[in-house]
Every structure is written in structure tokens, then in C-alpha cells.
Amino acid sequence: MKRTHLPLNALRVFEAAARHLSFTRAADELAVTPAAVGQHIRALEDVLGLILFKRTARALVLTTEAESALSSLRQGFEKFEDAVHLMQSGQASSVLTIMVSDSFVSKWLMPRLPSFYNARKHMQLRIVNSDKPADFAQENIDLAITQDFENRTQLRSQKLMDEELIIVASPKIGQLVKKLEDIEKISLIHNNSISYTWQNWFNDNNLKSSSPNAGLYFNAGHFVIEATLENLGISLVCKHLASGELASGRLLQLFGKIENAAQSSYYLTAPEPQWRQKKVQDFVQWVMAATSK
């Protein structure tokens, strides 16, 4: 019989009835009626073309054919259970896998993780760092933190925070900048992870620069911040990523928020089944609270 034609439900009923040698006890285990068990057994006997049970006045007795196959059938169901447990192992309640970009995990999430992890020592927290769109099925991910809303019908998303773009400098460099025009005299650090450029900034502020494209280029926000800390110039960065350095005084914000820069946001994203998991909701509640601190 081909695998696609195997009567798995009827075989499961037969295994339970054979183990108990009772339709009634098998029915209790399977949460069905004894009559339903009997119907499954008769249907299976019709498909297989043989008798599975001898019905005596006292009890059920397995036929020779049924008894010879029972051990292999039990092993088969045990392997099914093992396979299901293996598939579920990555989704266990004590294992939480989160996909997040390098910059966000290193500059925003990592400094805050102790408050989450220290209160949940039983958790196995797995961080997958990637800037690519999350492939939840392939990567076995519970939750992703993305900078763009993933508009896929099977996904559930919740906005984590709005981001704003600012200009930052180290204290050493920052003291050289008193007005907008002073930026022309300072080396520029370019942030290729955002769409807004230094050329956009000069244009928006009606300033002319002889070399708006000169300087250092990085395609990740955390590298931009590190270069700024090393006094290599001034940079355009997302404020949340630089929040730790701004709070400590290691970086200074120059001027105000850049109004003309397109605003981006961070989102928590997961397929609906993962989103409903207690471990995911626990993290969502924690990280939402952490944004307000």
C-alpha cells in the first residue's frame, strides 16, 4: 500500500485497541465512543482484507496477522512522536529565537537584554543577526525586529518605535561646530544604511559644500557610531541606536531633529501561530516597556 493511501487514523485506533484489548478503554484514550472505535476497526479490516480481532465472550483477542504487525506499528508511531518532538524542539517554551539587524542588536537591544534575561534564567535566548527579510519557516525564528513593515498577510506586526535621524559628533569634534556652516569644515561619515544623505542635508539647509561626498562610508549604523566615537568626523545616525552614547555624553547631538528625512519605524513581526506563543508575548511586552525607559 502506498504511503499516501495509508489509513493512519484507523491504524492509530487499532494500535490503541490492541494495546488495551478493549474498544471501551481505547475509546476513553482517544476521546471517542466505543462505537466509533468499532467502525474504524471494521473499516481497517475491509481495507486490509483480513480480521484483526477475535471477539470472545470475555475479551478481544488479536489474530495472528494483527499480532505479527503490532510491534512494527508501535515503533512507527513512536518514530512519528519523535519526529514531532524534533520539529517542536526549536519552538519549545524555553527557547526564544529572535532575528534582528546587527546595528539594532549591538546598539539598542544588547544593553537592555540583562533586564530581560536575568529575570528569565530558564530561557534559552537565541539572537540571529541579519538585515535580510525574515524567513520564519527556513530559519525557525519566533520573532523578528525589522525596520520596515513586512506587509505579508500571514504575518502579525506591531510597531515598536518610530525612529528619527540626527547629526552626532564626539565632544572633541562637536566643540568645533557652533553653526550649520561649520559642518563644511568637518570630515563627514556617511551612513549607507539610511536613505537620507549628507547631500540631502546640505540641500535642505540651503548650504553649498565643495565636497559633500568626501569622507568615510559604512553600510551599518553601529559602524558609523563607532567611527564617530573615534573622532573620525560627524555623522547622520538613527537616534535610538545612539541613545546609550548620547546618555553617557560620549556623543553629542548637533542641532535638532532632521525634519525632512523620511521617518522609519521598527516593528515586531511574527507569523500568527508564533505571535500567540507565551514566550513571544512575554518578550513583546518586555521590549515595548523598554522603549519607554
Confidence bin at 172 (pLDDT 50/70/90)? very high
Task: Name all domains of the chain by residue range, CATH numbers in brackets.
Answer: 3-89 (1.10.10.10), 95-163+265-290 (3.40.190.10), 165-254 (3.40.190.10)
Q: How many helices (H) and strands (E) does the chain have?
A: 13, 12
- Buried b / exposed e over 185-197, threshold 16 CB at 10 Å, is ebebbbbebbebb
Q: Between 29 and 81, where is the model more confident?
A: 29
26-75 residue pLDDT tens: 999 888 999 999 999 999 999 899 999 988 877 789 999 999 988 888 88
Q: Tell me how far apart the alpha carbons of residues 179 and 169 are, in angstroms, rounded to a whole number.
A: 14
User: How much is the pTM?
Assistant: 0.64
Residue 58 phi, psi dihedral angles, 5° rounding: -95, -40
